[in-house]
Amino acid sequence: MRFRHHVFVCENRRADGDPRGCCAAKGSLAIRAAFKDELRKRGLKGQVRANAAGCLDACADGPSVVVYPEGVWYGHVAPEDVPEIVERHLLNGEPVERLRIHRLERFSAPREPGDDGK
C-alpha cells in the first residue's frame, strides 16, 4: 500500500530537567492521536499515515511535525491545529504558513534527479 502523505510527529522523551526539553512532554502524543482521529473522520485512513517519530531535532520548536513527501515542517503544533493541517495541507496542498519551520525545510525537501542538495 502506498500512502500519499506521511505525517511524522515527534514523540521523543528526554529525562526530566533536560534543558532541551522534549516533544512528548509538550503534548505530542495527543497530537498524533488527533491526526489519527481526524484522518479516520475524513476517510483518509490508508491514504495518509500518522507516524510516531523519535527526535526530529527541532526541540525548540516542539511539538514538531514533518509532512512527506513535501518535506514541510511544522512547529509549536497543538491538537487544535490538526484539522487545519489536514484540511489545508493534506487535502488541498496548501501548507499552514503560521506553523511552518522554514529553516528546516531546506534539509528535507524532495530532490530532483541530479540535484546534489547544494
pLDDT(99) > 50: yes
76 pLDDT tier (thresholds 50, 70, 90): very high
The whole domain housing 82 covers 5-108
Is residue 113 assigned to a domain?
no
pLDDT tens per residue across span 40-73:
999 999 999 999 999 998 988 989 999 999 999 9
Is residue 116 assigned to a domain?
no
Is residue 115 assigned to a domain?
no
Is residue 15 assigned to a domain?
yes
- In angstroms, the CA 42 to CA 20 distance is 35
Is residue 14 assigned to a domain?
yes
Is residue 76 assigned to a domain?
yes
CATH at residue 91: 3.40.30.10
What residues have CB less than 8 Å from 59, skipping those under 6 apart? Answer: 12, 20, 21, 22, 23
C-alpha cell at 48: 495518509
Q: What is the pTM of this model?
A: 0.86
What is the count of structural domains for the chain? 1
| Beta carbons of 108 and 73 less than 8 angstroms apart | yes
- In angstroms, the CA 118 to CA 19 distance is 32
28 pLDDT tier (thresholds 50, 70, 90): very high
Is residue 77 assigned to a domain?
yes
Strands (E), 1-118: 5-10, 48-53, 65-68, 72-74
Is residue 51 assigned to a domain?
yes
